[in-house]
Structure 1
Amino acid sequence: MAKSTSQFVKLGLFVIFGSLLILVTAYMIGNEQNVFRPTFQISAVFNNVNGLQKGNNVRYSGIQVGTVRDIVMEQDTSIRVYMQIQEGMMTHIKDNAVAVIGSDGLVGSMLVNILPGPGIGAPVRDGGEIASYSSISTQDMLSTLNVTNKNVSLLSADLLEVTHALRSGSGVLAQLLYDSTMAKDLRQGFHNLNVSTARTEEAISRLNKMIGEWRLEQSTLRLLTDDPEFTGQIQRVAANLDSSGQEIRELTGRINDLIGGVQQGEGTLGMLMTDSSMAAEIRHGLRHLDSGLVKFDENMEALKHNWLTRGYFKKMEKQQEKENKKH
């Protein structure tokens, strides 16, 4: 009977100790998952969470500050991640912080890293949203690496082909490498180019020296500054040009005055141009003059045929013919 009671006591103590151990372990795990600590919630929207799950860690500048509470698919290209953060970090995390999804080591579980943003920002609020940055996933990196490998393979094949062509002596580059005649011609060409450059530099130097040795005494500037006779001629030409310009201006003024007077009807020419009655009288007089000339021609023709004056006109015609023959 005593033995059974001792066993029961030991069993009870073991159960109590085990229960306390389980409670302490649960408390520690819950404390690690922010179950028994005051927290606040923030969120961020990602295009790809790269395998992130609920309960994964959230770090701020590498420090464990919370866990992922929930992951909600909002649209086909946007996923909202809710994070449970320790309340003490509210004053440290600013609203311009950036959330990035990464991994804990090379093969570790996924986590959310919160990085401080540029500049000075206000403390984040409970339920607020911070910016996000979707890092390149491992699949994308492997895909890019695969494309790079293909390009490297193609480049290696082209390089092998070029090397084979060089070794076989085909192509201009191979001829430059193996053809001694072409190499000699190329060296001779470079030598001629150097000689031409040296001669050009020498010619330019001589030209500069010749320009520098030009004498001012033999130039036109010397005549303008030191020859009084040449200077006097220049001054007389300038004076003549000035007087001619003055006369031209006076003549132009007179012509303008004359034209203005004609336009205003002054003088005979102005009356002829502006007085319509005088113009009509002149036209009437010209008509009478024209008719008078016609009658005068008729009278002269009649005199030629008159027996009294016919001999005179015949004599005049013969004299005109003689003069024409002499000429």
Structure 2
Amino acid sequence: MRNDNKKSVIVGIFVLIGIIIFITGVLTLGGQQKKFVKSIRLNAVFDDVAGLQTGNNVWFSGVKIGTVRNINFYGDSQVEIVMAVESKVKDYIRKDSKATISSDGLIGNKIIVIYGGTTQAPPVEDGDRLMAEMPLDTDKMMETLQENNKNLVTITENLKVLTGKIAQGDGIVGAVMTDSVLADNFKNILSNLDRASVNSNRMLIELNKFAATLNEEGTLIYDLTHDKELYKSLQGSIESLQATADNANVLTNNLNDVTSKLSDRDNTLGMILNDEEFASRLKNTLIYADSSTMNLNRGLEALEYTWPFRRGFKRMNKANQEQ
């Protein structure tokens, strides 16, 4: 009888321990799933939930605030996520906040992350729908990485071929790296360029010094830019030169008119220059006039020795001698 009582007590103790463990587990699991916390429902519609399951956590600013209650199809091909979020955090989540799907760690379970929102928007209420932001597609990322790996392999192969040709001395770079004479010439070119650069800098310095002296008092540039009287004098000289140039143009035009008339026969000088017959007759006339003048001179000389004029010439000679 005593042994039966002892067994009953032991069984009762084990049953009590089991009940305590069960209640503790239920409470723990309920606490993790936010089953016994007052909550509100928030919705978000995604094109792809990327493996998200009911019971996954909902995070806000790095703090777990709820769980995924339901996952339902919505519309033609979208998925609606129903989240149970603690009521105490609703004042911090704004109506313009966004929801996206992320991972709990690198390869952990999928979670919902609520972020963003401005203070200008009011807090969320039970049944509000948040704007969904699609996460990065890991499959597309892997495809991109695979394509990048292929490109990297191709680039590596090309670099291998290129370095091989350079080592063999092919191409300009290979020739420069393997041909000592060409390398020396290249060094000389660089040295000449360096000297040219130094000379250019020196010339620029000298030009700067010269430009600085141009504005010093007493120089021509300074006088031209500061002396108003000199400016007026130069302006007057320029105006005089302009007037002279205008007169020269007028004179040139007049000379052009005169020379154009010289080629015509409707004037005396033009006829003399262009009419050969007239020029010949004028020449003969001048010859005759010269001959007549010579004959007249001879006749006048002969008059000095004729009897009627001999006495008059003697008196004239005597008067000239007395003077």
Please give the per-residue CA displacement for 1:222-251, whole angstroms capped at 9, x wherever unaligned.
9993699x78976997xx9xxxxxxxxxxx
Picking from 189, 197, 220, the partner of 1:216 is 220
Tell me which amino acid in the other structure corresponds to 1:216.
L
1:225 partnered with 2:203: no
State the match for 2:113 in structure 1: 113
Aligned 1:208-287 pairs, distance under 5 A: 209=210, 212=214, 216=220, 225=229
The answer to whether residue 184 in structure 2 is matched with residue 180 in structure 1 is no
Partner of 1:159: 159
What is the aligned residue count? 238
Is contact 2:58–2:112 with CA below 8 Å preserved after alignment? yes
Give a deviation string over 1:146-205, Cα, whole Å, max 9, x none: 222212111111111111001111111101111222223323333444455555566663
Corresponding position: 1:97 with 2:76: no
Separation of aligned partners in 2, 1:203 and 1:24: 91
- Asked whether the 8 Å contact 2:93–2:117 carries over to 1, the reply is no
Distance 1:223 1:21 in 2: 109
1:68-112 CA distance string (max 9 Å, x none)? 011123256632211011122212222232323222233432221
Aligned pair in 2 of structure 1 residues 103, 227: CA closer, same or farther (>3 Å)? closer
Match of 1:58 in 2: 58
1:40 Cα deviation from its structure 2 partner: 0.6
SS of aligned partner of 2:50: coil
Moved more, 157-166 or 42-51: 42-51
Contact 1:224/1:231 (8 A) holds in 2: no
**Aligned counterparts of 1:206 and 1:100: Cα–Cα separation in 2:** 66
Q: CA distance change for structure 1 residues 177 and 71 in 2, over 3 Å: closer, same or farther?
A: same
Aligned to 2:313: none
Deviations 1:3-60 (A, max 9, x none): 5566556546654654454344334423432333321100122233221101111122
1:83 alignment counterpart: 83
Query: Considering only aligned residues, what root-mean-square deviation do their CA atoms show, in Å?
Result: 4.2
Amino acid at match of 1:225: E
Q: Which runs of 5+ in 1 are unaligned?
A: 241-325
Cα distance change, pair 148–224 in 1 and its aligned pair in 2 (3 A): closer
Counterpart secondary structure, 1:55: coil
TM norm structure 2: 0.59
* TM-score, normalization by structure 1: 0.58
**Change in CA separation of 1:75 and 1:180 when aligned onto 2, cut-off 3 Å:** farther
Identity over aligned pairs, percent: 26
Measured in 2, the distance between the counterparts of 1:235 and 1:168 equals: 73
Q: Does the 8 Å CA contact 1:216/1:222 hold for their aligned counterparts? A: no
Once the two structures are TM-superposed, the CA of residue 221 in structure 1 deviates from its matched residue by 9.0
- SS of 1:186's equivalent in the other structure is helix
Does the CA contact (< 8 Å) of 2:167 and 2:178 recur in 1?
no
* Residues in 2 aligned to 1:72 and 1:123: alpha-carbon distance in whole angstroms: 25
